[in-house]
Amino acid sequence: MAGPSALLQDVVSAPADVAPRLAYAKAVARRDPERAEFIRIQLALARWRKEFDRRLDPSLERELTLVRARGREWAADIAPLVDGWQFLSGFVEVVTLDAAAFLADAEEIYRRAPVLHLNLTGVRPVAERLFASPSLGRIRSLRLHALELGDAEAALLASSPHLGRLEWLDLGGNRIGAAGLEALAGSAGLPRLGYVDLSYNAVDDPTPRHADEYDADSAAALRLQAAHGPRAWLDARTRSIWPPHRDAVEYPRGWNSG
């Protein structure tokens, strides 16, 4: 049977797969039962959250207890390369850091942790290099909140050939106007994008609004889809809950073990 180090490499090499995580938990269970317990709890909670079960899961309290007690220890390998992190399914999947640092260290970050979600700062100075980088190719969610991004940066994002796996995008609190919105809606490079936050930009947010138990399309969303074709992030009918979960990245809100 492979040892923990080899099994950890299996996790980071296949970050979207559950089986390597379970194998790692099994391998460390005798030596470090709390580590194995934490992985198994988070995998179970990931299923619970995706099913949008409104009942409070008792494992949440144990999850927080474990990560507060030992989270820094479990994130020690990745911590020097990032400004903050969060655990999903037992491992660090979410990292916060400066965009220039990400460009410099992406390969090493991916070697140390199964990162699928980025919270970036300092994007404007390196926007052209960032959105041209193949290092974005594995990313499922991207938070670029309140970074003074405008139409030029939105167009660079929309034209990136490396965001084909992106499912969740936060562009709230920026300076994106009509041209940037048009570029995003017209992009052929974002086939999996299901949620976009465009609140508090120069253009009104066209994404679906929640109203009394149903989601309603905005007039702007209907116009954009008439011009560019169906877009899941603009179409209220594609979702059963609002807003869609970001693989529970924002849950519990404000919890960051970094």
* pLDDT at site 244: 59
81, HSE (Cβ side, Cα atoms, 13 Å): 20
Write out the chain in H/E/C secondary structure. CCCHHHHHHHHHHCCCCCHHHHHHHHHHCCCCHHHHHHHHHHHHHHHHHHCCCCCCCCHHHHHHHHHHHHHHHHCCCCHHHCCEEEEECCEEEEEEEEHHHHHHHHHHHHHHCCCCEEEEECCHHHHHHHHCCHHHCCCCEEECCCCCCCHHHHHHHHCCCCCCCCCEEECCCCCCCHHHHHHHHHCCCCCCCCEEECCCCCCCCCCCEEECCEEECCHHHHHHHHHHCCCHHHCHHHCCCCCCCCCCCCCCCCCCCC
The residues that bridge with 214 in the sheet, in sequence order, are 211
Residue 119 and residue 140: Cα distance in Å, rounded? 11
- Report the alpha-carbon distance of residue 36 to residue 22 in Å, rounded: 8
The radius of gyration of the chain from alpha carbons, rounded to an integer in Å, stands at 19
pLDDT at 47: 80
Locate tokens 């479990």: which residue?
A: 74
**How confident is the model at residue 246, as a pLDDT?**
67
Strand partners, 64: none
Cα 177 from chain centroid (whole Å): 24
Structure token digits, residue 218: 């905005």
- pTM greater than 0.85: yes
Q: What is the pLDDT along the chain (258 residues), one digit of tens a residue?
A: 678 899 999 999 999 999 999 999 999 999 999 999 999 999 988 887 766 555 656 788 898 899 999 999 999 999 999 999 999 999 999 999 999 999 999 999 999 999 999 999 999 999 999 999 999 999 999 999 999 999 999 999 999 999 999 999 999 999 999 999 999 999 999 999 988 999 999 999 998 766 554 567 889 999 999 999 999 999 887 665 555 566 655 544 434 544
pLDDT for position 249: 55
Backbone phi, then psi, for 146, in 5-degree steps?
A: 55, 55
* Residue 210 CA, distance from chain mean position: 22
Q: Is 19 exposed, middle or buried (0-12, 13-18, 19+ CB in 10 A)?
A: exposed
Cα separation, 247 vs 86, in Å, equals 12
Q: Which domains does the chain have, with CATH numbers?
A: 4-238 (3.80.10)
Strand pairing category for 214-216 and 209-211: antiparallel
Give the sign of the dihedral formed by CA 16, CA 31, CA 37, CA 88. Answer: negative
